[in-house]
Structure 1
């Protein structure tokens, strides 16, 4: 049998019906309450009924997958958990968002637009896979670019959850308790919302989720005794990593090399009979992937340039605490402690990491007692193989690249999620476990998921606005781009004008190819201490906006900018008085207003 039953066989149908019904009602409520304007927080604006439905559904799925002993009940829990994960990550689409994007995501919209226009892949494109996939989906389904871009995240999240499930089940001799891997995957441990990857479409996010597929196939090569079909799929899957994101490919090279090295040079780890070709498969995979990474870095200047910049920073001895101190200073300005952010981001990761650590210790103790199995052997192998990845993380940390450090840590968390799923399943299938222990495990999983959820989308919970782009904002920018005077440049208070222009015209045109001016020629140059030259100075230098420019300039004020400045940052950058000064300035004319987007013409005074 599958261990201690927590749900009587005759009652699991009631639990299943309750979960599916709650999920349906919750998603219907979200669909029937589309966003009417810019939403500062997707959590606050999504109906409470939706959140109640998702909580009931994930609780029911956990109870069915872990608490039930009947196979069909576990299959039902597996399906319910998968639907919950997809529904949560697809909330921007369900809520009718026009686009869910910040910074680089606009560029990915532009690249996709270029491909749809028949332009070839540019040499400056670091990661073409998401754009090629998006283009093919759009051509087949006749969907919009925005819809497909937003749907890529839930699609790859489901791939991640399914691969955690498949890998965990492949590592265990028992095939009981279907759904544990999906439930662990639902915590989305690799997501780092403050630093990439985050829960919006970026190639890095997709690549981190895709990595689980490579690990799953590698595990099948081990358990399948080197079956040629598994080997073929494994090697075919490697090039996708490179074109999804070279950084994840580099980390995968280190991981696969670690697996091969441990199998070859640490015989004490291999105490049981294992496929003799497994070491060769992992080592060859590392070599092939490393070669593909090298070719990509040579053939694509952008990849080689990015690597070169990191190497220069390492040689220059940049203070590794610089990134941390900068962020600490920014947070303290708005009265927030860095430790508060760390606690919100990492509590769920620590909880899952603890489960993974317990599993690793169990595997180590079992192995040292000579009672090891292929399960414990591969758990220890994968754990030790993370050391080269942690080494890469330490190198980029020494260069002061905090964002790269967190990206490598996200890859480590992918493997730890798999290990945690194995440990939970192993715990559950032990017949000695009491009902109370199994119930406690269910509660722990649900609690971890609920703690993780508020930090997956950017929101005021993490002192950021949701990257919601309204249709009125996009129409406002389109109107400005099409009708602007060619000798008048564009400035803003905080929104990224160049990113919007790239998304509208495509990367090729935005860089100055074709009949349009480049972004550099279109954007204003304003004297201020801001990060971008087209940003107006904070509070307009405590004076009228027209006194801050030297040439005629368009000033764009999307609804999102005003809400973020006044409601989230409480006047830190601009106050209500700052915005009121626009209407008091005699040298400013309102040219366009749609309720959610306003364009002004500012003449120098």
Structure 2
């Protein structure tokens, strides 16, 4: 294709992305959205799809500057998709950990907490900068940080593959696979304000610094004490990752330690090998390990997590198998299945894992034409997957949530290896048919996986998990409840404990928070509630019962009245011992008299 034609094509692609953003911005969310996919105008998705089609095709077929333009177009488009809650003016997004992070950020701004007192203060500190410098609300500043933290992922994954020695096809494939956002699984990693997940997107930055140290011989630019600039870059990026979330930092330490072990064995076994030309990483493993230990060992939250993991490993019915059985039973009751959910949420990751696994096997069998140095880098990552996968199984037995977070980190490594591995498969296919034919087949398969990956990057009813959009009405309802409610009366939700909103509104450290006051919180007992025994549905005591649009969407529409029914809510309205005290379009709070 002529350069002038390509320039026009790229201009059209960027124009399509701009149109998509403008249309989305012109149609803000005015009420709770169970799915950001259906809430966003159709023309926005059409424009995004058009831009991604141009980006994917040019990333595979072009080289040099034109390929960079295609990758930039795709990265910009996917970042815009990830930023839709901000673009469409969500008040806030996230109803679990996100609200606690909001509370910590509020504590920092109010002076109740110093950033260094948090175990992972990076996200919160950057959010405060937006609040102070930009003058934006705290909630919006945190949504900005989500988009900023994501950007390094789509930028550095193709750079890492290039640093490994990957050819133009490998760089293009790596970019497309990064647009699938494989680290997000919506079980323990989420696209939103979730520092463990946000940290995953910074991992390629540390890996890039690590590969730059291995490949580039810094002699003239040596710093004092013989320190390489690239070594310093590893330490700086590693500390940045530590401040975002320590779990991903320890994964990086394990990765570099595995490389250190491979280097040690290579030096004992071989007299001539490309790995022998790489500078050693012994010091980096030790320094990063010491930094992590010094930061984590003194933190009570870290010690508690380790104790919970150890007790979970040796306890019965705590591990992942128990949770899987419970989830399978619940899905069956609402007409779903684990198989269906797996295809929706993990098919693209499974296919990429299979492709990478076959590629590694061929590398170890000597059936690829990789140059020696690229093969060394592939072996580094492949061998590092062994201890990283071992950590997954330990987590799975002891703390299943941590196991799925570990899958998120493994997905980052698989995304990088997929660039090299799938590119080799395309080259082989092109040799069997034709280059245009092989590229076309690859584009179709990668495009299908890209669509599936972006369909599940946000939670929605399609994965039996309605979106966690916090609208103005819902936030206002909780603010009124926290401000005017009786602190001696428990706040009780319908399958959702309201204490997280207390974190977000009052802060986590404040004396007026539920954790510091006498007010308890929890959820009603579904069986008692459904039988109409509202007064006895929370231990027989009087309580304030909260129902939001999210609750009714989840319990009635998505869960199909598995735990709570519309009839029970209608009966609550007529109950003589119940009074509605706060109400708007998306929030209702009832004072329910107890048996006492």
What TM-score, normalized by structure 1, do the two folds share?
0.89
Which residue number in structure 1 is paired with residue 190 of structure 2? Answer: 198
Residues in 2 aligned to 1:492 and 1:166: alpha-carbon distance in whole angstroms: 47
Partner of residue 153 from structure 1, selected from 146, 164, 172: 146
Assess, with a 3 A threshold, how the Cα gap between structure 1 residues 275 and 60 changes in structure 2: closer, same or farther: same
**Range with bigger deviation, 351-360 or 373-382:** 351-360
Residues in 2 aligned to 1:344 and 1:408: alpha-carbon distance in whole angstroms: 20
Which residue number in structure 1 is paired with residue 441 of structure 2? Answer: 440
Which residue number in structure 1 is paired with residue 322 of structure 2? Answer: 322
Assess, with a 3 A threshold, how the Cα gap between structure 1 residues 166 and 602 changes in structure 2: closer, same or farther: same
Assess, with a 3 A threshold, how the Cα gap between structure 1 residues 345 and 143 changes in structure 2: closer, same or farther: same
Q: Deviations over 1:537-590 (max 9, x none)?
A: 357141152353533322222222122222212222222211111221122222
Secondary structure at the aligned position of 1:38 is classed as coil
Q: Deviations over 1:408-428 (max 9, x none)?
A: 222122111111113355667
Secondary structure at the aligned position of 2:544 is classed as strand
> What is the CA-CA distance between 1:368 and the residue it aligns to?
8.3
Asked if residue 55 in structure 1 is aligned to residue 49 in structure 2, the reply is yes
Which residue number in structure 2 is paired with residue 413 of structure 1? Answer: 411
**Range with bigger deviation, 261-270 or 587-596:** 261-270
Asked if residue 82 in structure 1 is aligned to residue 81 in structure 2, the reply is no
The question of whether the paired residues in 2 share the 8 Å contact of 1:218 and 1:234 is answered with yes
Which residue number in structure 2 is paired with residue 527 of structure 1? Answer: none
Asked if residue 302 in structure 1 is aligned to residue 301 in structure 2, the reply is yes
Residues in 1 aligned to 2:440 and 2:324: alpha-carbon distance in whole angstroms: 40
**Range with bigger deviation, 171-180 or 243-252:** 171-180
Q: Deviations over 1:328-383 (max 9, x none)?
A: 222223222112111112111122223423543454455888x7421111111211
Secondary structure at the aligned position of 1:196 is classed as coil
Residues in 2 aligned to 1:517 and 1:323: alpha-carbon distance in whole angstroms: 29
> What is the CA-CA distance between 1:112 and the residue it aligns to?
0.3
Partner of residue 582 from structure 1, selected from 557, 572, 577: 572
Which residue number in structure 2 is paired with residue 311 of structure 1? Answer: 310
The question of whether the paired residues in 1 share the 8 Å contact of 2:146 and 2:193 is answered with yes
Assess, with a 3 A threshold, how the Cα gap between structure 1 residues 557 and 319 changes in structure 2: closer, same or farther: closer
1:5-84 to structure 2, matched below 5 A, reads 7-69=1-63, 71-84=64-77
The question of whether the paired residues in 2 share the 8 Å contact of 1:162 and 1:181 is answered with no
Which residue number in structure 1 is paired with residue 207 of structure 2? Answer: 215
Residues in 1 aligned to 2:51 and 2:194: alpha-carbon distance in whole angstroms: 28
Residues in 2 aligned to 1:429 and 1:269: alpha-carbon distance in whole angstroms: 31
Assess, with a 3 A threshold, how the Cα gap between structure 1 residues 516 and 156 changes in structure 2: closer, same or farther: closer
Residues in 1 aligned to 2:546 and 2:315: alpha-carbon distance in whole angstroms: 39
Which residue number in structure 2 is paired with residue 570 of structure 1? Answer: 560
**Range with bigger deviation, 11-20 or 470-479:** 11-20
Which residue number in structure 2 is paired with residue 535 of structure 1? Answer: 524
The question of whether the paired residues in 1 share the 8 Å contact of 2:173 and 2:418 is answered with no
Residues in 1 aligned to 2:274 and 2:543: alpha-carbon distance in whole angstroms: 73
Gapped runs of 5+ residues in structure 1? 1-6, 525-532
The question of whether the paired residues in 2 share the 8 Å contact of 1:565 and 1:573 is answered with yes
Q: Deviations over 1:190-218 (max 9, x none)?
A: 1111x211112111102222111111111
1:165-244 to structure 2, matched below 5 A, reads 165-172=158-165, 174=167, 179-193=172-186, 195-225=187-217, 228-244=228-244
**Range with bigger deviation, 559-568 or 353-362:** 353-362
What TM-score, normalized by structure 2, do the two folds share?
0.91
Secondary structure at the aligned position of 1:199 is classed as coil
1:73-112 to structure 2, matched below 5 A, reads 73-112=66-105
Which residue number in structure 2 is paired with residue 548 of structure 1? Answer: 537
Residues in 2 aligned to 1:346 and 1:455: alpha-carbon distance in whole angstroms: 9
Secondary structure at the aligned position of 2:509 is classed as helix
> What is the CA-CA distance between 1:173 and the residue it aligns to?
6.3
Secondary structure at the aligned position of 1:598 is classed as strand
Q: Deviations over 1:451-487 (max 9, x none)?
A: 1112211111110110111111111111111111233
Residues in 2 aligned to 1:475 and 1:426: alpha-carbon distance in whole angstroms: 55
**Range with bigger deviation, 33-42 or 136-145:** 136-145
Residues in 2 aligned to 1:271 and 1:405: alpha-carbon distance in whole angstroms: 39
Residues in 2 aligned to 1:537 and 1:274: alpha-carbon distance in whole angstroms: 61
How many residues are treated as equivalent by the alignment? 581
Residues in 1 aligned to 2:513 and 2:356: alpha-carbon distance in whole angstroms: 54
Residues in 1 aligned to 2:101 and 2:592: alpha-carbon distance in whole angstroms: 31
Which residue number in structure 2 is paired with residue 278 of structure 1? Answer: 279
Assess, with a 3 A threshold, how the Cα gap between structure 1 residues 269 and 142 changes in structure 2: closer, same or farther: farther
> What is the CA-CA distance between 1:255 and the residue it aligns to?
1.4
The question of whether the paired residues in 2 share the 8 Å contact of 1:352 and 1:448 is answered with no
Assess, with a 3 A threshold, how the Cα gap between structure 1 residues 240 and 192 changes in structure 2: closer, same or farther: same
The question of whether the paired residues in 1 share the 8 Å contact of 2:274 and 2:376 is answered with no
Residues in 2 aligned to 1:590 and 1:382: alpha-carbon distance in whole angstroms: 59
The question of whether the paired residues in 2 share the 8 Å contact of 1:9 and 1:68 is answered with no
> What is the CA-CA distance between 1:390 and the residue it aligns to?
1.2
1:118-517 to structure 2, matched below 5 A, reads 118-121=111-114, 125-172=118-165, 174=167, 179-193=172-186, 195-225=187-217, 228-266=228-266, 272-274=273-275, 276=277, 278-279=279-280, 281=281, 283-316=282-315, 320=319, 321-366=321-366, 372-399=371-398, 401-425=399-423, 434-509=435-510, 513=511
Assess, with a 3 A threshold, how the Cα gap between structure 1 residues 379 and 503 changes in structure 2: closer, same or farther: same
Secondary structure at the aligned position of 1:11 is classed as helix
Secondary structure at the aligned position of 1:507 is classed as coil
> What is the CA-CA distance between 1:322 and the residue it aligns to?
1.6
Gapped runs of 5+ residues in structure 2? 220-227
The question of whether the paired residues in 1 share the 8 Å contact of 2:159 and 2:171 is answered with no
Query: How well do the aligned residues superpose, as a CA RMSD in angstroms?
Result: 2.6
Asked if residue 522 in structure 1 is aligned to residue 523 in structure 2, the reply is no
Residues in 1 aligned to 2:168 and 2:343: alpha-carbon distance in whole angstroms: 36
> What is the CA-CA distance between 1:37 and the residue it aligns to?
1.2
Assess, with a 3 A threshold, how the Cα gap between structure 1 residues 323 and 66 changes in structure 2: closer, same or farther: same
Q: Deviations over 1:281-327 (max 9, x none)?
A: 2x322222222232233211110111122112224465642222222
Assess, with a 3 A threshold, how the Cα gap between structure 1 residues 270 and 95 changes in structure 2: closer, same or farther: farther
> What is the CA-CA distance between 1:391 and the residue it aligns to?
1.5
